[in-house]
Each structure stands twice: as C-alpha cells, then as structure tokens.
Amino acid sequence: ALKIAGDLERIGDLGKNIAKRVLAIANENFPRQLMFGLQHMVERALNQLKDALDAYGERNADLAKQVWREDAQIDVMYNSVFRELLTYMMEDPRNIGFCTHLLFGAKNLERIGDHTTNIAEIVCFLVNGEGISEDRPKGDNTSTTLFTPDER
C-alpha cells in the first residue's frame, strides 16, 4: 500500500503540472484540433487509473493485468501526439510556445500511465504473491527515434 501511495502522489504531482500548463496557454489562440489527441490521452489515463484503483479495492488481479496490458495504448497515443505537435511546430515557429506546453502535458499523461501500470503490478503481486512474468509493454519510442520533416 505504501508503494501505491507513492505512485498516487507522483500522479498528483504530474496532474498539478498539467494544470499549470493549461493555465499558461488558456488564453492563447491555437487550433483546438491539437487538443483532440490529448483529450483521448486524458480519457484513457483516467480510465486506467480508475480501473487500477478498482482492482486494488476489489483485489482483482485480472483487472490489474488488463490495466497493465493497456499501458501500451497510452504510449502509442503519446507517440502520435508527439509527432503531430512537432510537425505543427516545424510548419510555423510561432507555434513552438504553446506546442511545447502541450508536449510536456502529453509526456506527463504518459508518465501517469506508467505510474498506473506500477499500481497494477503491485495489485497483481498482492493478490497472487508474485509479479507479472511478462515483459512490461512499452510503446513510447520518442526517446529513440529521430523525427524529420520527411516522415510526416
């Protein structure tokens, strides 16, 4: 339970950072379609967190394992948002300011997914007495891929 509390605290910190960034760009005039990918990430991250906490409360290892598997979906969403925002910044450097805030917000959502996955792993251990034997699903490739304009 202490490890879960640590992950929840970190999720709260990441949420607070997202809120600060939203306030920083709230009055900016930018295309709202840039928010669609982020909105889907928010919905997925919140649903995953709810499911992870439900799994903990119900001692449901199957639900926890489902949450664990679904982390890759948030990573894929993050990759897509990352590429979209970089493309938008390359097309017009005036977009760099607010797109940077959106990029950090997206990364924070991806990290929330990672902390939620930690909670799911802990629940599986609490219920079954052993960790998940499979490799953790990872789909965030932004740190190992060089994005160039030709890849749009």
| pLDDT > 70? residue 150 | no
Q: How far apart are CA 81 and CA 39, in angstroms?
A: 10
* Predicted pLDDT of residue 146: 67
Record the tokens describing residue 65, joined without a space.
């394992």
Give percent helix, percent strand, percent coil of the chain, each to the nearest 5: 80, 0, 20
Q: Which band of pLDDT confidence, cut at 50, 70 and 90, is reported for residue 139?
A: low
Q: Residue 41: which of 9, 8, 77 has the closest Cα?
A: 77
Domain total in the chain: 1
| pLDDT > 80? residue 18 | yes
- Average pLDDT of span 51-76: 96
Query: Taking a C-beta distance cutoff of 8 angstroms, is the pair 147, 103 a contact?
Result: no
Quote the domain boundaries for residue 111.
2-151
* Predicted pLDDT of residue 132: 83
* Predicted pLDDT of residue 32: 79
Average confidence score pLDDT of the chain: 91
| pLDDT > 90? residue 15 | yes
Q: Which band of pLDDT confidence, cut at 50, 70 and 90, is reported for residue 131?
A: confident
Query: Taking a C-beta distance cutoff of 8 angstroms, is the pair 151, 90 a contact?
Result: no
Q: How far apart are CA 67 and CA 72, in angstroms?
A: 10
Please enumerate in sequence order all residues whose Cβ is within 8 A of that of 9, keeping only pairs 6 or more positions apart, or say none. Answer: none
- Average pLDDT of span 11-26: 96
Q: How far apart are CA 42 and CA 109, in angstroms?
A: 7
CATH number at residue 139: 1.20.58.220
Q: How far apart are CA 47 and CA 1, in angstroms?
A: 20
Q: Which band of pLDDT confidence, cut at 50, 70 and 90, is reported for residue 46?
A: very high
